Amino acid sequence: MTKKKVFSGIQPSGDIHLGNYMGALRNWVAMQDEYQTVYCVVDLHALTLPQAPSDLAEARLRTAKILLAAGIDPQRSLLYHQSQVPQHAELSWILGTFTSMGRLGRMTQYKEKEDKGGQNLGLFSYPVLMAADILVHKVHAVPVGDDQTQHLEFTRDLVERFNSRYGDFFPAPEQITPGRGARVMSLKDPSSKMSKSDPDDDSRILVTDAPDAIRRKIRRAVTDSGARIAYDVERKPGISNLLDILAVFAGDAVDDLADRYSGAGYGRFKETVAEAVIEGLAPLRRAFLDLEDREVERIMKMGALDARIQAERTMVEVRKMIGLSG
């Protein structure tokens, strides 16, 4: 039986934090057993914000290295840099001709960044390139959180438009929703998601952080009034966030952990969370430090070669269907 194909991409920030790991990366690793997996460092998307060339080059490499260290296996997954597969951009242009300006202007991500003065054509058409990333491999499913549901619906709409005009060709990708741990909150403001754009470094744990840094950040994490450990997102968001983190690394249910540590006190509980995170990330950190840059670059170039071959099969058919062949 042929496995279903899954695609997911990550921007090359260079630093992957605990929210990225718990909400996406650890699930990417697990999905290699069940699906044909295609994973991409979406460096073209990163250009919607100004980038110093040297910083972007370093971030691309570092992001790829973290993916490999986390357990993405190039023997089981297709892993590559988006910019090295030009079929992404070609299909994006074609799909853009099916997309109305009004629909793009209503996309939440564009409206949020537009309000911050980040207007440019790349940001406006970002969802079209995201759809092309998915469709160029004709994947069956995409793992996304709630904040990306709108983009997946946009992709499914483009599939319907293309297939309606040219015949049934692209599959409409399904949504795979991660379980608990998919939404990790800031350690300094548990009402906001953990983010790499937060100016406070103590708001997030990076997967490559040293043990002492992890202990310090969790020790300083904002908690709540009172001393009882309980899972209550509304009244105790800080402790609830730490319980969510501990549940992933300890492999236990949140309610069981809340009962076990209910009278432990915040200090002891934070120590428990910190040690669980340190132990859980130790294999990734060791693998990251052992990987050589030259080997990572070789793996990504080989992945791009395979991805171009796969994507070109799609584009040969697309060009033929729309009248661009011959």
Q: How many CB atoms lie within 10 A of CB 150?
A: 15
d(CA 306, CA 136): 13
User: Which of these, 288, 303, 239, 285, lies nearest to 266 by C-alpha position?
Assistant: 239
Of 3, 116, 188, 193, the active-site residue reads 193
Instruction: Select from 209, 202, 217 the least CA-distant residue to 280.
Output: 209
The amino acid present at 275, given as its one-letter code, is E
DSSP letters of 140-163? SEEE--GGGHHHHHHHHHHHHHHH
DSSP state of 84: G
Examine the residue annotation and report whether 193 is marked as an active-site residue of this protein. Answer: yes
What does the angle CA 51 – CA 144 – CA 42 come to, to the nearest 5 degrees? 25
* Active-site entry in 65, 113, 217, 236: 113
Tell me if residue 5 is catalytic: no
Residues labelled catalytic: 113, 193, 196
